[in-house]
């Protein structure tokens, strides 16, 4: 009996000693979903994309107005279909010390364009015909047709050519030239990166449960938590002495989509009624972060092509009269189905919207599904109403992708089967407009038209927040929820003199 006990204890110890040892001075960030792949040619989820921005350098980035700006390279348009990129002479080397050259840029983009590699980003680059290396620091991109938005597509992290050729597993062992490099990735939920400038270690812990994330933050097991928390927990954190919470506006756009092939929803009056029936202000106040802004169009006001109109005011009386006009009332109530994912925050909001529509006489049945089923249904057009968000939209080519009449799935994301000749015309005109100011005006016209025809009801741009322990300094929120400012973050315990730490 005793021997069995001892044996079990020994086994337990042996197994436990295999646990990863965490260095205590690493700065730890809690993330709601784990990164899937650290190969920028394949990453499509938000967490992987954000981490890749830390690990790799990309040719082009965006400014506060979402205009493409030089990151790794400056460019020059030599001809309508030819762009020359000159790499920044002060650029960082790859993590192994080797220099980043134009050949690496060509190798990276060629491998994304190669159909045998199955990259999900391939079709965003289909207008590239050829990539030509001019010299060590210069590379030309030749297009098959002019596209004024072109440089904005070159946002994929640059990989070393010799790594690509050797078939290096970038997805698990990222090899880039970014400010961070991989230190360890022992298990799925724990990623350790090292900041190249000073060797500071950062850990990204996957904690899907929001309460657990908050508790870990309180206990010091995490130092930073960004977004993905219900507002009650954010308020709770604001009351804690050792936690700093900061907010800022965001650009992620939420909306309620309509299926315009449905006879009920094809009636514009019904759609307008729904837009007037939703009290977005009340939802934003109670259920969303403090910096949430009501939205009128897909692109936020700070975007170079963004809009700032007054959207549909909350007016249940107007909603009711529109419905009456359309032939619905107490005798023949309107019944609709509303699809959402099973994400708790989305569901919470959807439930409130369901109640608000109920208050103007619309009976809404709420269907919540896991992401896969939900997504399949909306692409196949098996829905009446649904709500979703667009995350990290920078380039206005989204309008063609979502609203052009030829973009019905699987060709695009026009899930509502929206057909409007004026919208098609505006999209096409904006694509060929050469002058940036004219382009911006056309996109704004377009968004105004979309607000009149209501293929969707724009809801809001969700605010962002970060909760950090008070000894963490230097973290700035970005508009998209990126982690870029981790490059400047320092841990500075209170009570220790400033002079001890390098600036």
Partner 1 sequence: MIQFLVSRLLSALVVVFGVVCLVFLLLHLVPGDPVDMMLGESARPADRAALREALGLDRPLLVQLGEYLGGLAQLDLGTSFHSRRPITDMLLERLPATIELAVAGLLVAVLIAFPLGALAAVRKDTPWDQGAMTFSLIGVSVPNFWLGPVLILVFSLWLGWFPVSGRDGIVSLILPAITLGTALAAVLSRMVRSTLLEVLSEDYIRTARAKGLSERQVVIHHGLRNALLPVITLLGLQLGTLLGGAVITETVFSWPGVGKLTVDAILRRDYPVVQASVLLISVTYVVVNVLTDLVYAWVDPRIREARA
Partner 2 sequence: MRRAAVPAVILALWLCMALAAPWLPLQPEHISLPDILALPSGEAWLGSDDLGRPILDRLIMGAATSFHVAVWVVLISALVGSLIGTVSAYWGGITDLVIVRVIDIFLAFPGILLAIALAGIMGPGIGNVVVALSVVGWVGFARLARAQVLSLKHRDHVTAAVALGCPSTRIVLRHLVPLIGAPLIVEATFGIAAVVIAEAGLSFLGLGVQPPQASWGNMIRDGARYMLVAPHMVLAPGAALMLVVLAVNLLGDRLRDRLDVRSRVRP
Residues that bind partner 2 (CB under 8 A): 209-211, 214-215, 230, 232-233, 236, 282, 286-287, 342, 344, 347-348, 351-352, 354-355, 366-370, 373
Burial (CB count <10 Å: 0-12, 13-18, 19+), residue 477: buried
**CB closer to partner 1, 19 vs 166:** 19
Distance CA 44, CA 52 (A): 11
Instruction: Please identify which residue in the block is written with the tokens 């390279």.
Output: 73
HSE value, Cβ hemisphere, 13 Å, CA-based, for 453: 19
We find the least distance from the C-beta atom of residue 370 to partner 1, in angstroms, to be 5
In angstroms, rounded to a whole number, what is the distance separating the alpha carbons of residues 89 and 82? 22
Task: Round the CA-based radius of gyration of the chain to a whole number and report it.
Answer: 25
Stretch that binds partner 1, among 245-253, 407-415, 421-429, 463-471 (CB under 8 A): 407-415
Instruction: Kindly state the smallest distance separating residue 121's Cβ from partner 2, in Å.
Output: 30
* Residues 196-215 as x/- pattern, contact with partner 1 by CB under 8 A: ---------x-xxx--x--x
Nearer to partner 1, 46 or 334 (CB): 46
SS3 212: helix
**Is residue 8 within the footprint of partner 1 (CB under 8 A)?**
yes
| Residue 120 CA neighbour count, 13 Å, CB half | 8
- Structure token pair of residue 112: 């994304």
- The whole-angstrom separation of Cα 266 and Cα 383 is 13
Q: From the list partner 2, partner 1, none, which binds 236 (C-beta under 5 to 8 Å, kind-based)?
A: partner 2
User: Binding mask 311-340 vs partner 1 (x if CB under 8 A, - otherwise)?
Assistant: ------------------------------
Question: 3-class SS at 480?
Answer: coil
Tokens of 27: 């700065």
CB under 8 A: which stretch of 16-24, 54-62, 138-146, 223-231 binds partner 1? Answer: 16-24
Task: Choose the binding region for partner 1 from 129-137, 173-181, 364-372, 460-468 (rule: CB under 8 A).
Answer: 364-372
Stretch that binds partner 1, among 121-129, 287-295, 352-360, 493-501 (CB under 8 A): 121-129
70 or 218: CB nearest partner 2? 218
Identify residues 131-170 at the interface with partner 1 (CB under 8 A).
none
Which among partner 1, partner 2, none contacts residue 67 (Cβ within 5 to 8 A by kind)?
A: none
Q: Among 171, 261, 279, 484, which residue sits at the site for partner 1 (rule: CB under 8 A)?
A: 171
Task: State residue 446 phi and psi, 5-degree precision.
Answer: -60, -45
Number of residues that this document lists for the chain: 503
As a whole number of angstroms, the distance between CA 27 and CA 192 comes to 10
Residues 241 and 470: their CA atoms lie apart, in Å, by: 8
Q: Which is nearer to partner 1, 15 or 166 (CB)?
A: 15
Taking CB under 8 A as the criterion, the residue among 80, 333, 344, 409 binding partner 1 is 409
Q: How far is the CB of 77 from partner 2 (least distance, A)?
A: 50
Supply 170's token pair: 């970038």
Give the residue carrying structure tokens 């309180």: 218
Are 317 and 395 a contacting pair, CB within 8 Å? no
For position 16 contacting partner 1 by CB under 8 A, the verdict is yes
Decide which of partner 2, partner 1, none touches 404; Cβ closer than 5 to 8 Å per partner kind.
none
Judged by DSSP in three states, 281 sits in helix
Question: Residue 308 binds which one of partner 2, partner 1, none, with CB within 5 to 8 A depending on kind?
Answer: none
Q: Kindly tell me which of 462 and 480 has the beta carbon lying closer to partner 2.
A: 462
Q: Please select the residue that binds partner 1; options are 375, 417, 441, 471, rule is CB under 8 A.
A: 375
β-pairing, 334-341 with 362-369? parallel
State the Cα–Cα distance between residues 192 and 185, nearest whole angstrom. Answer: 6
From the CB of 217, what's the least distance to partner 2, in Å?
A: 11
Query: How many residues in the shown chain lie near partner 1 by CB under 8 A?
Result: 53
Q: Is 309 in the site for partner 1 (CB under 8 A)?
A: no
Q: Are 424 and 416 in contact (CB under 8 A)?
A: no
Picking from 258, 282, 260, the residue whose alpha carbon sits closest to that of residue 458 is 258
Retrieve residue 310's tokens.
């007054």
12 binds, among partner 2, partner 1, none (CB under 5 to 8 A by kind): partner 1
18 near partner 1, rule: CB under 8 A: yes
3-state secondary structure at position 422: helix
Residue 450 in tokens = 């979309």
**Given the rule CB under 8 A, which residues bind partner 1?**
1, 8, 11-12, 15-16, 18-19, 22, 36-37, 42, 44-45, 115, 118-124, 171-172, 187-189, 205, 207-209, 212, 215-216, 219, 221, 370-373, 375-376, 379, 388, 390-391, 398, 401, 409-413
């Amino acid at each position: 009996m005793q021997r069995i006990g001892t044996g079990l204890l020994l086994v337990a110890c042996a197994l436990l000693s295999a646990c990863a040892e965490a260095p205590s001075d690493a700065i730890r960030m809690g993330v709601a979903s784990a990164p899937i792949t650290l190969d920028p040619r394949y990453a499509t989820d938000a967490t992987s994309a954000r981490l890749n921005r830390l690990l790799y350098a990309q040719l082009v980035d965006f400014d506060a107005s979402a205009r493409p700006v030089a990151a790794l390279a400056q460019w020059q348009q030599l001809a309508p279909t030819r762009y020359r990129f000159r790499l920044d002479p002060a650029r960082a080397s790859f993590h192994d010390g080797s220099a980043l050259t134009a050949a690496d840029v060509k190798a990276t983009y060629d491998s994304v364009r190669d159909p045998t590699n199955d990259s999900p980003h391939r079709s965003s680059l289909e207008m590239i015909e050829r990539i030509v290396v001019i010299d060590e620091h210069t590379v030309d991109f030749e297009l098959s047709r002019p596209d004024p938005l072109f440089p904005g597509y070159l946002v994929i992290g640059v990989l070393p050519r010799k790594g690509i050729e050797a078939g290096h597993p970038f997805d698990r062992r990222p090899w880039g030239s970014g400010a961070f490099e991989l230190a360890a990735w022992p298990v799925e939920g724990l990623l350790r990166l090292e900041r190249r400038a000073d060797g500071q270690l950062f850990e990204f812990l996957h904690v899907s449960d929001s309460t657990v994330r908050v508790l870990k933050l309180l206990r010091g097991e995490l130092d930073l938590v960004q977004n993905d928390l219900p507002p009650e927990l954010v308020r709770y954190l604001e009351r804690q002495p050792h936690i700093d919470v900061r907010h800022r506006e965001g650009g992620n756009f939420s909306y309620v989509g309509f299926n315009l092939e449905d006879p009920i929803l094809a009636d514009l009056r019904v759609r307008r009624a729904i837009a007037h029936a939703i009290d977005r202000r009340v939802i934003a106040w109670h259920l969303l972060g403090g910096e949430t802004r009501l939205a009128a169009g897909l692109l936020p006001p700070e975007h170079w092509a963004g809009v700032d109109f007054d959207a549909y005011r909350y007016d249940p009386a107007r909603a009711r009269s529109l419905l009456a006009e359309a032939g619905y009332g107490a005798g023949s109530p309107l019944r609709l189905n509303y699809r959402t994912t099973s994400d708790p925050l989305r569901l919470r909001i959807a439930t409130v919207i369901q109640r608000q529509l109920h208050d103007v006489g619309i009976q809404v049945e709420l269907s919540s599904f896991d992401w896969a089923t939900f997504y399949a249904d909306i692409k196949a057009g098996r829905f009446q109403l649904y709500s979703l968000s667009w995350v990290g939209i920078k380039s206005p080519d989204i309008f063609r992708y979502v609203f052009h009449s030829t973009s019905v799935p699987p060709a695009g994301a026009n899930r509502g089967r929206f057909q409007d000749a004026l919208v098609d015309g505006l999209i096409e005109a904006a694509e060929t407009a050469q002058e940036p100011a004219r382009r911006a005006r056309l996109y704004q016209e377009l968004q105004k038209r979309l607000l009149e025809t209501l293929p969707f009801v724009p809801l809001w741009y969700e605010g962002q927040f970060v909760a950090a322990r008070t000894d963490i300094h230097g973290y700035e929120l970005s508009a998209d929820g990126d982690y870029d400012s981790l490059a400047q973050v320092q841990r500075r315990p209170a009570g220790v003199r400033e002079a001890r730490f390098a600036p």
